Amino acid sequence: MSMKFLSTTAAAALLVSTLPALAQDVSCPIKVGVLHSLSGTMAISETTLKDTMEMLVDIQNDKGGLLGCELEAVVVDPASDWPLFAEKARELLTVQEVDVIFGSWTSVSRKSALPVLEELNGLMFYPVQYEGEESSKNVFYTGAAPNQQAIPATDYFLEELGVEKFALLGTDYVYPRTTNNILEAYLKDKGIAEEDIFVNYTPFGHSDWSKIVADVVALGADGKKVGVISTINGDANIGFYKELAAAGISADDIPVVAFSVGEEELSGLDTSNLVGHLAAWNYFQSADTPANEEWVAAWKARMGEERVTNDPMEAHYIGFNMWVNAATAAGTTDVDAVRTAMYGQEFPNLTGGTAVMLPNHHLSKPVLIGEIQDDGQFDIISATDPVPGDAWTDFLPESAVLTSDWKDLGCGMYNTETSTCVQIKSNY
């Protein structure tokens, strides 16, 4: 190991918990499962999260490990194959005997792993924005719920940009479909007519966007302002933005706000024609804070100057450090003890302020709107105070009566009208 690496990890270690160890029957090494696609259509997004987890584990080990033990990252590749996430989660928990899992990106991959996590009482930290409508005692959702991304982004279109017609473009799986169901209900509640909402879904890896882009352009034939809300995932984004540029569409003509495009995805694109389009996240690399400056510097020192940071990385950064603190407080990595210690955990986020873990297994975090710059970074043009993540949306009638509280109610689907805990809710 080079002295340069030692010095950078030592500096970065300032970012990681140093609470004293109170170990109780902990087996060494403590194994951290990493469940992210390193091949297939989602590798463009998930490989960076694998790298992030390995870096966080190394930093923690540089500080002396956890509970008197070294940490070991155990990496598997579900290869963007959704059923394989269940198989790999089972492998991590039963064969590798990991203490915790950090992983998955798409909701279909999370939902694939979920029955295994619940069967084996595993614990997973999920770092990506998602559609909500779920609350499992075996998952901590450190990415954005719809009220921390989709709803604020839609409000920005309505209130700041004067968008009158909406194209909801998504990849064909549960996250875009559920998010768009919520947004359709929300837009109608805001007075947008049904005929002014265009919804379209495409497969993972979709590449021919000419007709869809033409349909979006046609939506504004009457002169009304059109905006695109994009839940397109993975490498399909490359073709979508290229087609927009080829059609001569600028952000002034038809603005796009994306929920799955960050710095990592833009690093593979010619962004010269994307300037002015938007993304909604809880973090951008361009955030001007000392903590973020230190984090970005440590990342680039380890991975190279060309590598960028992004929102799901910060979610893993927060989730990992909260898990370290919870395990330290509990004196064990036992899942039930750590879960109890997680409630109310606080950790500074990288954009300023503090993330708080709520009893519904979601974080309280700020919402940021970023505008794409020609260097592939984002100019933060809007930021909110911390918003508590809501597991169940207020804009679908069947969900508006539900709440999640694992701390006091011991229930992820508590019906506030009947005062009962519901066990199963289909999202399909």
pLDDT in tens, 253-270: 999 999 988 898 888 677
Tokens of 87: 């198989």
207 & 302 share domain: no
255 & 170 share domain: yes
pLDDT in tens, 379-395: 999 999 999 999 999 99
Query: What is the rounded CA–CA span in Å between residue 3 and residue 250?
Result: 47
At 377, the pLDDT band (50, 70, 90 cuts) reads very high
Query: What is the rounded CA–CA span in Å between residue 323 and residue 103?
Result: 14
The domain boundary, picked from 341, 364, 387, lies at 364
The separation between CA 279 and the C-alpha centre of its own chain, rounded to angstroms, equals 13
In sequence order, the β-bridge partners of residue 35 are: 76, 103
How many domains does the chain contain in total? 2
Whether residue 282 is contained in a domain is answered as no
Q: Exposed (0-12), middle (13-18) or buried (19+): which is 277, by Cβ within 10 Å?
A: buried
193 & 308 share domain: no
Whether residue 406 is contained in a domain is answered as no
Q: Please tell me whether the peptide bond between 29 and the residue prior to it is cis, using omega within 30 degrees of 0.
A: yes
Query: What is the rounded CA–CA span in Å between residue 390 and residue 336?
Result: 23
Over residues 330-350, mean pLDDT: 98
67 & 137 share domain: yes
125 & 176 share domain: no
pLDDT in tens, 174-198: 999 999 999 999 999 999 999 999 9
Whether residue 126 is contained in a domain is answered as yes
| Amino acid type, 259 | F
161 & 137 share domain: no
Whether residue 100 is contained in a domain is answered as yes
Please tell me the predicted confidence (pLDDT) of residue 270.
Answer: 76
Please tell me the predicted confidence (pLDDT) of residue 260.
Answer: 87
Kindly tell me if the per-residue pLDDT of 83 is higher than 80: yes
The percentage of the chain sitting over the pLDDT mark of 90, rounded to a whole number, equals: 84
Query: What is the rounded CA–CA span in Å between residue 34 and residue 102?
Result: 5
Whether residue 279 is contained in a domain is answered as no
50 & 140 share domain: yes
Query: What is the rounded CA–CA span in Å between residue 158 and residue 359?
Result: 32
Query: What is the rounded CA–CA span in Å between residue 271 and residue 269?
Result: 6
92 & 167 share domain: no
Three-state SS for the chain is: CCHHHHHHHHHHHHHCCCCCCCCCCCCCCEEEEEECCCCCCCHHHHHHHHHHHHHHHHHHHHCCCECCECEEEEEECCCCCHHHHHHHHHHHHHHCCCCEEEECCCHHHHHHHHHHHHHHCCCEEECCCCCCCCCCCCEEECCCCHHHCHHHHHHHHHHCCCCCEEEEEEECCHHHHHHHHHHHHHHHHCCCCHHHEEEEEECCCCCCCHHHHHHHHHHCCCCCCEEEEEECCCCHHHHHHHHHHHCCCCCCCCCEEECCCCHHHHCCCCHHHCCCCEEEECCCCCCCCHHHHHHHHHHHHHHCCCCCCCHHHHHHHHHHHHHHHHHHHHCCCCHHHHHHHHCCCEEECCCCCEEEECCCCEEEECCEEEEECCCCCEEEEEECCCEECCCCCCCCHHHHCEEEECCCCCEEEEECCCCEECCCCCCC
Could you list the residue range(s) of the whole structural domain that residue 152 is in?
A: 148-260
Whether residue 232 is contained in a domain is answered as yes
The percentage of the chain sitting over the pLDDT mark of 70, rounded to a whole number, equals: 93
Whether residue 246 is contained in a domain is answered as yes
248 & 291 share domain: no
pLDDT in tens, 29-77: 999 999 999 999 899 889 999 999 999 999 999 999 999 999 999 999 9
Q: Exposed (0-12), middle (13-18) or buried (19+): which is 208, by Cβ within 10 Å?
A: exposed
175 & 196 share domain: yes
Residues 6+ apart with CB under 8 A from 341: 325, 326, 327, 329, 330
225 & 291 share domain: no
The domain boundary, picked from 320, 337, 364, lies at 364
112 & 165 share domain: no
Virtual torsion, Cα 114, 118, 122, 128, nearest 10 deg: 30
Is 381:369 a contact under the CB 8 Å cutoff?
Answer: yes
At 25, the pLDDT band (50, 70, 90 cuts) reads low
- Span between the terminal Cα atoms of the chain, in Å: 49
| Amino acid type, 417 | E
Whether residue 305 is contained in a domain is answered as yes
The domain boundary, picked from 324, 341, 364, lies at 364
For the domain that residue 42 is a member of, what is the CATH number?
3.40.50.2300
